[in-house]
Structure formats: C-alpha cells, structure tokens
Amino acid sequence: MRWLGRPARPAPQPADGDTVLEFDGVGRTYPGPPPVTALRPVNLSVRRGDFVTVSGPSGSGKSTFLNIAGLLDTPTEGRYVLGGVDVSSLNDAERTAVRGRRIGFVFQSFHLMPHRTALENVELGMVYGGVPRRKRTERARRALCGVGLGHRLDSLPSRLSGGERQRVAIARALAVRPTLLLCDEPTGNLDSATADAVLALLDELNEQGMTLVVITHDAAVAARGTRRVTIRDGVLSEPVPATAR
Ligand SMILES: Nc1ncnc2c1ncn2[C@@H]1O[C@H](COP(=O)(O)OP(=O)(O)OP(=O)(O)O)[C@@H](O)[C@H]1O
C-alpha cells in the first residue's frame, strides 16, 4: 500500500496533456472549533482513461475529497490542477465555469428536476456547461440514446425506474463532454441488479476513454475501479500495482 501523503517531491510537476486531475499536497482542515483535518495533504494524479474508486468508512473524508475534486469546496492547502488549469487560484465565478464545463457529476439521489422530462433535464444540465442553446436538444437526445434511453426522451422522472433515472443523470453529466466524471455513490439507491447495469454502463464509458472517479463505501463498487484508492481518517492510500513492486 502506498501512502499518498506528501512525499519529498521538491516542486509540483507540470500537468501533461494526459493528466486530468493533479493534487499536490492538497489538504482540507475545517476551522472548527475544534479544527478537523478531514483530508491530510495528498498527492494524487489521475490520468485520462483512469477509473479510480475512492472508498472508506463513514467519516473518513470521502465527501471532503469529492467536494474538493468537484470544485465545490477549496483546499486549505496545496495546489489542484484540473485538465491543465490551476484551479487553486480561481475566484468563485471562474471555478463555477470550470466546474460546469469540465466535470460531470453523478449523485446517489439522481438530482433530476421532477417536472422536467428526461430530455429537458439533460438540456438543462448544459446551461452551465457552456453549450450553445441551439446545440442542446440534439446533444441531449444523443446522450440519452447513448445510455439506452432513446425511447424515454419525453418521460418525467416519476415515470422512470431508479436505474433509468440514474441513466438520465449520467446522460446529463456526459452531455457537456466533461474531462472527468465524478460519481458519488452512484448505485447507493439502486437494487443490486439495477446497480450492476449502471456499473456496466460506467465500465463501458471508461472503455470508451472517459475518466472516472467514483466515491463509494461499497466494496463491490470499489472493486470495479482500475485504480482503487482507500481513505481512512483523511489519509488517502493506493496499493502499489504488482508490476511496480
Ligand atoms: N463542515 C465541517 N466542519 C467540521 N468538520 C467537518 C465538516 N464536514 C465534515 N467534517 C468532518 O470531517 C471528517 C470527514 O468527513 P466527510 O464528510 O468527508 O466523511 P465521509 O467519508 O464522506 O463520511 P460519510 O460516508 O459518512 O458521508 C469527519 O470527521 C467529519 O465529522
């Protein structure tokens, strides 16, 4: 197991074209009182096409990690480079713009708008993704067809199964053509057969080249990753692949 804490690396390395996410000594301490260090300074590099799972028990720091990776929160130390952009130094508006264009989110509870159809939900997801209005409908249609929901474009979420709702959410995330798909317990609200189908879709997306970071407390979900990072008491670690030993 390799501890991903701050090593004796002298200076941050420039992100190459294949590096999607780069954490350089990124840490987060909540001020309290008392102060809580929820994420210990960590170095982590996620490359294009990686499928990284981050798992750990309750309170270990998963949400803290997710919020920072997803630009929903800022680290209290370190430097975060996303797709070649140093996002540590951005103001709120710039961070929101980068988030909308580069990160697709998939949440446990889908977060669909109940009075909007599947197609409209996916279209609306593109508003903050910088996709011109005239392109949104066609792109939404294609994204929904891509997740096997071409026949459900006009359905309201209440008429869809849990698995179909999560597919809409995945289509919404993909429609902005993000650099990174960030999933928070994506199967947490699904029965096991439906969860398997959603995980198979994530596998397929990864095979097509999508970079995935999936936060989970479920060992079976964690096992799907090609890189399995664990977090415990705010410390991220990753087993060293056998070939690298
Ligand atoms: N806003 C906050 N202020 C102070 N402490 C916080 C805050 N948010 C989280 N924490 C603390 O930071 C630690 C990590 O919390 P975090 O929510 O990241 O864990 P988690 O692994 O996502 O937990 P769970 O699986 O239960 O959601 C915990 O000790 C938690 O109590």
Task: Compute, in angstroms, the gap from residue 32 CA to the centroid of ligand 1.
Answer: 12
* pLDDT tens digits along 173-214: 999 999 999 999 999 999 999 999 999 999 999 999 999 999
* pLDDT tens digits along 16-38: 669 999 999 999 999 989 999 99
- The three-state secondary structure class of 94 is helix
* CA-based torsion, 130, 135, 137, 138: positive or negative: negative
As a whole-number percent, the residues of the chain with pLDDT over 90 amount to 83
Rg (CA), the chain: 18
Ligand 1 near 216 CB (within 6 A)? no
Atom number of ligand 1 nearest to Cα 60: 21
Ligand 1 near 62 CB (within 6 A)? yes
Ligand 1 near 230 CB (within 6 A)? no
Task: Compute, in angstroms, the gap from residue 24 CA to the centroid of ligand 1.
Answer: 21
The token pair at 241 is 């692949």
What is the fold of 19-237?
A: Rossmann fold (3.40.50)
**Global pTM value:** 0.90
CA distance 3 to 43: 9
How, if at all, do strands 180-184 and 212-216 pair?
parallel
Global ipTM: 0.97
